[in-house]
Every structure is written in structure tokens, then in C-alpha cells.
Amino acid sequence: MDTSVRKLRYFVVVAEERNFTRAAARLFIAQQSLSRQIRDLEAEVGAALFVRTTRSVALTPAGQAFLARVRAGLAELDAGVAEAQDCEKATARSLRIGFGLGAALELTPYILEEFGRRYPEVEIEMREFPLPDQSAGLSERWADVAFIRPPLAIDDIVSHTLFVEPRVLTVSARHPFADRASLRVDDILEVPLSIGRSTDEAYRRFWSLQDYRTGRTEPLMRPTTTNTEEIELIAAGLACTVNPAAIMRYIPHAGVRYIPIVDVTGSAVAVAWRRDSANPLVAEFNRVAQQVRRRERDVVRAIEHPFGDLDLLSG
């Protein structure tokens, strides 16, 4: 048997009213349509459920047995729906946001302020994740939504870009490149680099400039766990690293220099979440973030062009 819940609810109302005219009025449908639905249900059940006369409608013994089970089944279904809705409401009262260094940079407070204004009842929890977890908590399912820097080799993560900023080479203040105003990628392909201690191959390929190394081997890579650890390694003259330009503002250091690389694609910051996310606030958070991005054009412009008129060919 494969019937609809609607027909079962119609059956219960007719059983309660013992009259098709009153039942149809209660259900806000035509009497002829209700009669047809009940006949269809009887055909599906394989038993007459009502005895009909010109004056009354009565349940048959089969109808009485069926009514008890249908009422119990509909009560269980309604309880299940209510429980699911309660779970949805509970989920929708909180949002966990993962992020790496700087989150969405200077755009972050504008996004969080606007989201809080629209959803004041939502409790927001934020957590910073170190370099090994470039998914910012999405891989381990702590974060509902995250600010990440693509590319990442994780198929079940959806990301929407907020902005793209230049990449820089971070070197010791005593490095031969320290006084350069800018660099080209060919200048640095043989330079030993530090890179975040991550197993994500797309991340490693992007930050080691592997796409520009046709016919060349990857240079010595020194793995690091945090951005501050990385900066201290560079200040000591043990390596260089490729960073997003925002690191100049978020980790200023007297012992290092940040030099723009003029001919590599830029580093994007994106709002990201898992495809199977059950939190309905995720889509709302992304919608707010994208609206804020379009509204705060001067902020985005400053992020994307930190070196003014310098000709950076970032994507």
C-alpha cells in the first residue's frame, strides 16, 4: 500500500464528523473531491471503510480498526515533524565560525556586525585554526562556516570568494632581496621556502609556486605550524615564505621585509562551508558577507590594492 498522508487525514475527519458535507467544509475542499479521495483510499486499503446511506455515514468494522492505527500513525508523524523542527530551531540559534590569520581581514567586523544586526538571537562562536588546518575547522566538522584561502583539495567544501589580494615574498631584513621594491616569480623559484605544515596538496602547490616550476624541482620546504613561528624562522634568516599581502598589517616585524610578487595570481579569501551542512544560517551568513562585500567597496579596494599603483598581475 502506498497512500498519501493527506488521504489519511481526510479519512480521520470523515470518521469524526460521520458526514461528508461537514467533513468537506472542515477541510475546505469540495464534497465530491472528498468522496473521491475516500473511495481511492478504500481501493488502496482493499476494504470498505464506511457504510454510506442517504442520511448517515458509519465506520465499518474494518474502518474502526483502520482508524485506530491511522490516528496512532499520524500522531507519531506529527511528533516526528515537531521534533525535527525543534532540532532545526536549536541549530539555527548558533553559528560556529572558523578562520585563519586575519579571517576576512578588514571586512570581518563589517560582516559580523551586519549579521548580528539581522540575527540578534544567534549565538556566534569563533575559533582561529593554525596552518595545518587550512579548512579552518570544516574538515573536522567543528565549524559551520569558515573564512578560508582557496585552493584546497577538499571536494565537499563549497566556497564563495570575497576578495583577492596580492602575494608577497617575506624575507629576512638581511636577505639580498630585502631592499627590492618588487619581485618576479622567476627571481624566487630557487629560494628555500617555509610552508604551513599541511597535507593538503592544493594548498602546498599554491604557496610553493609549484605551477610556475615547469621543469624544476620544489626547493627545500621548512614546515611550520603557526604564522608567528613562520615569521620568526624568516627573521632568523633560515628561509623565506610566500604570504598574502595582509600579513604586512597583521604580523608587522622589524626583522622581516614584505616584497610584492608582481606576476603571480593573488590569494583569495572566501566564505566556505560543507555541502552537507545542516545549519540553515550558513547560507544566510554567506548572503550577508557578499552583500557587505558589495557595500564596502572602499575597504575591499584597499585590501586588493595595498601597494597602490604598483603593477601587480594578481587574478
pLDDT tens by residue, 52-61? 887 789 999 9
Q: 3-state class of 228 per DSSP?
A: helix
Could you tell me if 302 and 221 lie in one domain?
A: yes
Could you tell me if 42 and 181 lie in one domain?
A: no
Residue 117: the pLDDT is 95
| pLDDT above 70 (res 89) | no
**What is the chain's mean pLDDT, rounded?**
91
Q: Residue 184 — very low, low, confident or very high, per pLDDT cuts 50/70/90?
A: very high
Could you tell me if 128 and 107 lie in one domain?
A: yes
Q: Which residues are CB-contacts of 212 (< 8 A; sequence separation ≥ 6)?
A: 185, 186, 189, 264
Residues 131-166 have pLDDT tens digits of: 999 999 999 999 999 999 999 998 899 999 999 999
Q: Residue 114 — very low, low, confident or very high, per pLDDT cuts 50/70/90?
A: very high
Could you tell me if 66 and 113 lie in one domain?
A: no
Could you tell me if 10 and 79 lie in one domain?
A: yes
What are the φ and ψ backbone dihedral angles of 102, each rounded to 5 degrees? 85, -10
Could you tell me if 295 and 176 lie in one domain?
A: yes
Domain-terminating residue out of 71, 90, 109 = 90
**Where does 46-153 have alpha helices with state H?**
61-91, 108-118
Q: What type of residue sits at position 57?
A: V
Could you tell me if 252 and 106 lie in one domain?
A: yes
Domain-terminating residue out of 90, 114, 140 = 90
Q: Residue 218 — very low, low, confident or very high, per pLDDT cuts 50/70/90?
A: low
d(CA 149, CA 77) in angstroms, rounded, equals 44
Highest mean pLDDT out of 53-57, 78-82, 239-243, 269-273: 269-273
Average pLDDT over residues 14-20: 92
**CATH code for the domain in which residue 17 is found:** 1.10.10.10
Domain-terminating residue out of 59, 90, 121 = 90
Task: Give the domain range for residue 45.
Answer: 5-90
Higher pLDDT, 127 or 90: 127
| pLDDT above 70 (res 36) | yes
Could you tell me if 121 and 241 lie in one domain?
A: yes
Strands 256-260 and 167-172: antiparallel
Residue 131 C-beta-side C-alpha neighbours within 13 Å:
19
Burial of residue 193 (number of CB atoms within 10 Å: 0-12, 13-18, 19+)? buried
Could you tell me if 34 and 52 lie in one domain?
A: yes
Q: Tally the domains of the chain.
A: 2
Residue 309: the pLDDT is 66
Could you tell me if 78 and 199 lie in one domain?
A: no
**CATH code for the domain in which residue 100 is found:** 3.40.190.290
Dig out the grid coordinates for 287 from the structure.
548572503
Could you tell me if 61 and 24 lie in one domain?
A: yes
Q: Residue 315 — very low, low, confident or very high, per pLDDT cuts 50/70/90?
A: very low
